[in-house]
Chains A and B, each alone.
Chain A
């Protein structure tokens, strides 16, 4: 009886050691492979970049628009953002813009819908992206970001909608995003 228990324990020990051995071998391979994924340039950037460069690396092409919002929209104001195209990738950009322009409140076409848990799985959310949600009577100093296809910065679709249209002043037009600020009524 005792020898059966001993041999069971011994088999369990071999099994455990074998499973952990496979894991340890894969660790040895990945401990070499994972560092090789990054180049020397990546490492130089990691240790020496400015914060602005790190933002640019994460959100390529949108930093001029973000800089414009940060410079021309006060911290307690609201910013409305929408896109001229329906694209799930751009939907993620809304979240990223929201992070970068905080403490300004970034309202996207679906902000209200997104506040309801589960809305993100609504297949209609992509269609919402092209629907500007600027309320009538937005306070002066509010901002707007219009995401658009590359090179369409001068297209009419990349301008604010009819609401208070005459008062929206373009502060920055970039190849993928235009930034506007609402001036006070004359």
Chain B
């Protein structure tokens, strides 16, 4: 029992420590935001851990805890030592207001409880088994990434979508390494940690936006762990995408106010998480960058302030690497995406155009009934966002807020288009994927709504 607890602690705390140390290098301290900092740290560390496992496997080094754990601890120590050269004075830690403390504690407890109850059952069914855990098991049993990886992933149809981004399977491999074997349960744990991280990331972001009591009331709106349909009861990657987008929007907001590169770094980390987790995350990262570019093009003053030198754009290399890494791996291992290389032989765009007359109405109906108006599924967060866009566009798209709001609108449009252009039977596709993909937008939309609410109802706004 104690050994089990210790191994699970290592699975979670090593990435956390690595992330906290790396954030220090960029100038981020716990005192910047005591609530959100644990989430930022875990996400950053998870990206580094995933990258380390991938590098380790490419080099053919043995996937054993005796090698990988000390290596990551060394990375954390090295980053911490490097951060000591960063002379920025830590901000004084602000006390977290009690309404938020109570809300975060209660909702974190509900989240942990829900995730733990799920773990009473092994990972054997659905996408978590056939896509994510399957890919992790292939890599762990093979022990390295070489030309046999592609063959093994495709053998007997074991991995359903081997082309999907690898961060989730790499983190499951990390858990297997620490566990000492390809567990049918433990691979879920580093993925479930993202669901808990959403609680802290959103709480921190809301605290900076709304009065404590209003922030506490709004916190539950954006939590996947409180959605009634069981979208978080798996080791699927949807929550990772959702958290990545939330972090990116939150960091963008801070960046627009501070113009500090470290906030832009955090936005890039969020987009890299989304892009490294799922193909939808790649799309969301691309539309977010495109929306940011539109915002910069429209506001020259903002562009001058935020990007005094083009060098700052180099942070985009992080999400670009996440997308490029997936594409390169798919090319090398011969994986193809079923929506792009579909059995009809027609390109996605041709299918989308041809199917638009038949599918537009049912897709719109499903989106309205199962997403916008389903209180248990999305807490009306996306409805509230669209209502704000229509009723108060000057508030919804004001200044730096243009980028997140435009990104959300583009994301909704692109996601709906995927259902129109899918080669799969529409009813099946909608029933298995509609809620999952739109749940990826809910935490970020909650933050965007909170920002609009703070402007429209100034007495709800956080004290300056």
Partners in one complex: yes
Chain A residues with a Cβ under 8 A of chain B: 8-13, 15-17, 19-20, 22-24, 26-28, 30-31, 34-35, 38, 42-43, 45-49, 51, 54-55, 57-59, 75, 78, 92, 95-96, 98-100, 102-103, 105-108, 111, 114-118, 121
A24-B217, A30-B376 given as contacts; is B141 within 8 A of A15 (CB)?
no
- B141 neighbours in A (Cβ, 8 Å): 75, 102-103
Interchain CB contact under 8 A, B110 and A57: no
- A95 neighbours in B (Cβ, 8 Å): 125, 129-130
Please tell me if B137 contacts chain A, counting CB pairs below 8 Å.
yes
Q: How far is the CB of B185 from chain A (nearest CB, A)?
A: 5
Q: Which of B107, B137, B342 contacts A31 (CB 8 A)?
A: B107
- B338 neighbours in A (Cβ, 8 Å): 117-118
Distance in angstroms between the alpha carbons of A6 and B460 in the assembled complex: 17
Q: What string of 1s and 0s marks CB contacts (under 8 Å) between B49-60 and chain A? A: 000000000000
Please tell me if B154 contacts chain A, counting CB pairs below 8 Å.
yes
- B217 neighbours in A (Cβ, 8 Å): 24
Q: Please, could you name 16 A-B residue pairs with CB atoms under 8 Å apart, sorted by A? A: A13-B392, A16-B453, A19-B387, A20-B218, A26-B376, A27-B379, A31-B220, A46-B119, A54-B122, A58-B121, A58-B124, A95-B129, A99-B123, A102-B158, A103-B141, A118-B343
Interchain CB contact under 8 A, A43 and B113: yes
Q: Which of A16, A114, A117 contacts B456 (CB 8 A)?
A: A16
Which partner residue on chain B sits nearest A37 by CB separation? B117
Distance in angstroms between the alpha carbons of A116 and B344 in the assembled complex: 11
Q: What string of 1s and 0s marks CB contacts (under 8 Å) between B312-328 and chain A? A: 00000000000000000
Q: Which of B182, B220, B376 contacts A24 (CB 8 A)?
A: B220
Interchain CB contact under 8 A, B154 and A54: no
Please tell me if B370 contacts chain A, counting CB pairs below 8 Å.
no
- A107 neighbours in B (Cβ, 8 Å): 156
- A31 neighbours in B (Cβ, 8 Å): 106-107, 110, 220, 226
Please tell me if B395 contacts chain A, counting CB pairs below 8 Å.
yes
Distance in angstroms between the alpha carbons of A34 and B116 in the assembled complex: 13
Interchain CB contact under 8 A, A9 and B343: no
A27-B379, A51-B184 given as contacts; is B226 within 8 A of A17 (CB)?
no
Q: How far is the CB of B239 from chain A (nearest CB, A)?
A: 16
Please tell me if B177 contacts chain A, counting CB pairs below 8 Å.
no
Distance in angstroms between the alpha carbons of A16 and B226 in the assembled complex: 21
Interchain CB contact under 8 A, B226 and A30: yes
A16-B387, A19-B383, A99-B133 given as contacts; is B125 within 8 A of A45 (CB)?
no
Distance in angstroms between the alpha carbons of A10 and B155 in the assembled complex: 60
Q: Which of A11, A17, A99 contacts B129 (CB 8 A)?
A: A99
Residue with the highest number of chain B CB atoms closer than 10 Å, among A35, A57, A99, A107: A99
Q: Which of A9, A11, A46, A55 contacts B116 (CB 8 A)?
A: A46
Please tell me if B384 contacts chain A, counting CB pairs below 8 Å.
yes
Distance in angstroms between the alpha carbons of A121 and B218 in the assembled complex: 41
Q: How far is the CB of A106 from chain B (nearest CB, A)?
A: 6
Which partner residue on chain B sits nearest A32 by CB separation? B110
Interchain CB contact under 8 A, A22 and B380: yes
Distance in angstroms between the alpha carbons of A36 and B459 in the assembled complex: 36
Distance in angstroms between the alpha carbons of A117 and B154 in the assembled complex: 12
Interchain CB contact under 8 A, B183 and A51: yes
Chain B residues with a Cβ under 8 A of chain A: 1, 106-107, 110, 113-114, 116-125, 129-130, 133-134, 137-138, 141, 154-158, 182-186, 217-218, 220-221, 223, 226, 228, 338, 341-343, 375-376, 379-381, 383-384, 387-388, 391-392, 394-395, 423-425, 428, 449, 452-453, 456-457, 460
A26-B379, A35-B110 given as contacts; is B424 within 8 A of A118 (CB)?
yes
Interchain CB contact under 8 A, A57 and B456: no
Which partner residue on chain A sits nearest B130 by CB separation? A95
Interchain CB contact under 8 A, A57 and B120: yes
Distance in angstroms between the alpha carbons of A105 and B156 in the assembled complex: 6
- A46 neighbours in B (Cβ, 8 Å): 116-120
Residue with the highest number of chain B CB atoms closer than 10 Å, among A20, A30, A96: A20
- B384 neighbours in A (Cβ, 8 Å): 16, 19-20, 23
Interchain CB contact under 8 A, A20 and B387: no
Which partner residue on chain B sits nearest A119 by CB separation? B343
Q: How far is the CB of A137 from chain B (nearest CB, A)?
A: 18
- B124 neighbours in A (Cβ, 8 Å): 55, 58-59, 96, 99-100
- B122 neighbours in A (Cβ, 8 Å): 51, 54-55, 57-59, 100
Distance in angstroms between the alpha carbons of A13 and B343 in the assembled complex: 48
Distance in angstroms between the alpha carbons of A9 and B394 in the assembled complex: 9
Q: Which of A12, A13, A17, A111 contacts B157 (CB 8 A)?
A: A111
Distance in angstroms between the alpha carbons of A20 and B220 in the assembled complex: 11
Q: Which of B134, B156, B391 contacts A8 (CB 8 A)?
A: B391
7 interchain residue pairs of minimum CB distance: A13-B456, A27-B220, A23-B379, A12-B392, A12-B391, A58-B121, A19-B384
Q: How far is the CB of B332 from chain A (nearest CB, A)?
A: 20
- A92 neighbours in B (Cβ, 8 Å): 125
Q: 8 other contacts beyond A30-B228, A54-B119, A54-B184, with CB at 8 A cut-off? A: A13-B392, A16-B388, A24-B220, A34-B114, A57-B121, A99-B125, A106-B158, A117-B342
Q: Which of B116, B155, B375 contacts A23 (CB 8 A)?
A: B375
- A96 neighbours in B (Cβ, 8 Å): 124-125, 129
Interchain CB contact under 8 A, A16 and B380: no
